[in-house]
Amino acid sequence: MKAIPSSRRLRAVLVFFCGALLSTLSLHAQTTDAHVTFSAPIEEPASGWCKLLLLKNGNTCFLRFTRRDGILVGMYDTAHALLQTDTITSNLWEVKSMADAELDGVYEINGDVVIFIQQLIKYRPTLIRMVLDGQNGHLVREDKLGELASIQKRQVYALNNAASHDCYVEKDPRSGYYAVAFFNGTELAHDSTDATHVQVVHYAPDHHEIHRASYYTPDSSYDYYSYLHMQVQGGEAVYLASMAFNTHTSKREEDSRLMIARLGATDTAFRFQAADRQHNAGYASGMLQCLPGQPVRLLVTMMPAEMSRKKVQGNLPVYYLRFDAQTLKPLDQETLPMAAATLYAKAHLQYQDDYSGMLQQWLPLADGSSLLLQESVRQFIQGGSTFNKTITGLGDVGITHLDASGKEQQAVVMNKIQSAAGTYEPFYQYRRNKTEWSFRNRTTGPTVNGFLSYAFVQNAKGDYFLYNQLVSTTPGDYTVATRPLRTITEAGLVCYHYVDGQMLQLKLFPPQTSLTEAPKYYACMLDASADDAARNRYATIMIAHNDTERKAYLAWISF
């Protein structure tokens, strides 16, 4: 099959969506095949967090982060057979206190599996790096990278900005370089001796430290920082975006400003640049992109000052900013109207109101354009006077193509309806893909949340859209659901593929062999999944279920 250049192919898919999705019947009538390989049955994950990594050596690493038993490792070979198992414990963090831990990233670096885990140790957030051998999964080394000061109970908060007090890890997607940010961004405890609120450390692929610097404005005009995002560009630079702000004191007025900063390989301090239009804004979330030879780009959603005393309707404004990659000189800024998705939804999906979707992911393309992924979100409280819980409705998907200057080109909206426990923040999918996860305040029993939202996979053969939806009683009938997906036992994976100008629903699973056999469906644990664009593969955990049985497997989809 002839490969289509990435930028042209992705522009074409959005154009084609606008015609192809007009007819649900034609979409479901066209099918193509993909090959799915299952492992031997595994124990169904009931709590904690699972993650798969497709390694460059062809192995698949299966990680299970348990609440009290450490990290269970299964290494599968190129034939998808179980090669080695191990249980990873630690001398640096408490295995039985995983409830006080969070994952800050799991990556393949220099051929090994590298886990960044943060745990409260004596009330101080402490970041640990664990390196597992990429051949057998055994622990090679573990290192304490740093810790944050203990903090007072009250948070620092002003103009809808909360000071960050956390550790953050980001890896360059094109190399093994990575950076760690230690954010003592809030008010320190009275007995703390830490003078530096924020420190950033730049690491090489062999894990040696190549640069360390403090993060603060040269004129000390801001006391507190709310972390937005960080990006690493090889060994050359680290970029960091934040909301800098002050609280009202006898010496200062409440003030906030969007900041972007750059730390070059030979710099002794960060170079800062303020975004003047985002003065006194709040509720900010954002992502940076830095591609070789292109300006640095920042996509941020926030509440501007003029909206702070008004009731917010729909989404917060979305801003697209570009800066010179070396000097950080502002190049341009767009306030995205987010109109293309609404036009499509009204024309093809009978929307009466505007499409409203939370930002989930921002995918760069080689030509400087990008794809903005959204998901409609509605939160409400469920329960009586003695017990309440937050429920989040995860609805229709929006995909918008932005050109290199941030202007909207085409968009598509696809129907989906799911119901999740708890709350969701912007860019959830981005954090899920890099394995940011916390045991804190999480349900200990089985949950459907790991199967919800959706996945957008790009590789040389095309672009793939996967999600679980409510299955019907008719085998193979995945028509649009009329009520939300709420449990694993009613979930079935669907996948669409754009190729050679057509949108096809993939036949992933074999048909029934007997009319008397109970229909079998496959629920995909999207939280645990991994994709390998170079080999056109997608690995995940699937739960095969029907009325009589339920089994868990690792599954590899070859597109």
184 contact partners, CB below 8 Å, separation of at least 6? 148, 149, 165, 194, 196, 197, 198
Q: What's the confidence (pLDDT) of residue 61?
A: 99
CA distance 145 to 172: 18
Name 291's bridge partners. Answer: none
CA distance 19 to 231: 37
* Residue found by looking up tokens 């975004």 in the block: 275
With H, G, I as helix, E, B as strand and everything else as coil, classify residue 269: coil
Q: CB atoms < 10 A from the CB of 253, how many?
A: 10
Secondary element (H or E) of residue 26: helix 24-29
Q: What's the confidence (pLDDT) of residue 20?
A: 35
CA distance 105 to 432: 9
Q: Is residue 275 part of a domain?
A: yes
- Measured in whole angstroms, the distance separating CA 176 from the mean position of its chain's CA atoms is 19
Look up residue 428 and give its two tokens: 């959830």
List, in sequence order, every beta strand (DSSP E) within 441-490.
455-459, 462-470
Q: What's the confidence (pLDDT) of residue 162?
A: 85
CA distance 360 to 375: 7
Provide the terminal-to-terminal Cα distance of the chain, rounded to the nearest Å.
Answer: 11
Secondary element (H or E) of residue 71: strand 71-76
Look up residue 221 and give its two tokens: 């005009």
Q: What's the confidence (pLDDT) of residue 286?
A: 97
Nearest to 260 by CA among 326, 167, 169: 326
Q: Is residue 217 part of a domain?
A: yes
Domain that holds residue 243: 148-336
With H, G, I as helix, E, B as strand and everything else as coil, classify residue 13: helix
339 contact partners, CB below 8 Å, separation of at least 6? 408
44-64 in b/e form (b: 16+ CB < 10 A) is: ebebbbbbbbbbeeebbbbbb
Q: What's the confidence (pLDDT) of residue 500?
A: 55
Nearest to 420 by CA among 390, 383, 388, 375: 390
342, 354 contact by CB (below 8 A): yes
Q: Is residue 79 part of a domain?
A: no
Residue 16, φ and ψ in degrees, nearest 5 = -65, -35
In the chain, the number of structural domains is 1
Q: Which alpha helices (H) appear in 428-472, and where do they start and end? A: 428-433
Name 268's bridge partners. Answer: none
Cα–Cα distances in angstroms (integers) from residue 116 to residues 108, 207, 347, in the given order: 12, 12, 46
Q: Is residue 136 part of a domain?
A: no
CA distance 241 to 261: 6
Q: What's the confidence (pLDDT) of residue 31?
A: 56
121, 94 contact by CB (below 8 A): yes
Q: CB atoms < 10 A from the CB of 68, how many?
A: 12
CA distance 301 to 309: 17
List, in sequence order, every beta strand (DSSP E) within 352-490.
358-364, 370-383, 388-402, 408-414, 418-421, 436-438, 455-459, 462-470
Q: Is residue 83 part of a domain?
A: no
pLDDT in tens, the chain (559 residues): 334 444 444 444 444 344 333 333 233 334 567 889 999 999 998 777 899 999 999 999 999 999 889 999 999 999 999 999 999 999 999 998 887 889 999 999 999 999 999 998 888 899 999 999 999 999 999 999 999 887 665 678 787 888 888 999 999 999 999 999 999 877 655 555 555 678 999 999 999 999 999 988 777 788 889 999 999 999 999 999 999 898 887 567 788 899 999 999 999 999 999 987 777 888 899 999 999 999 999 999 988 777 655 555 557 899 999 999 999 999 999 899 999 999 999 998 999 999 999 999 999 998 899 999 999 999 888 765 444 578 899 999 999 999 999 999 989 898 899 999 888 999 999 999 999 988 654 554 457 899 999 999 998 888 899 999 888 644 445 455 678 888 998 999 999 886 654 557 888 887 666 655 667 899 999 999 999 999 999 999 999 998 888 999 999 999 8
Q: Is residue 173 part of a domain?
A: yes
CA distance 382 to 385: 10
Q: What's the confidence (pLDDT) of residue 217?
A: 79
Paired sense of beta strands 31-33 and 502-507, if any: parallel
Q: Is residue 36 part of a domain?
A: no
Look up residue 31 and give its two tokens: 């099918």
CA distance 4 to 12: 10
CA distance 102 to 461: 35
pTM, entire model: 0.90
Q: Is residue 482 part of a domain?
A: no
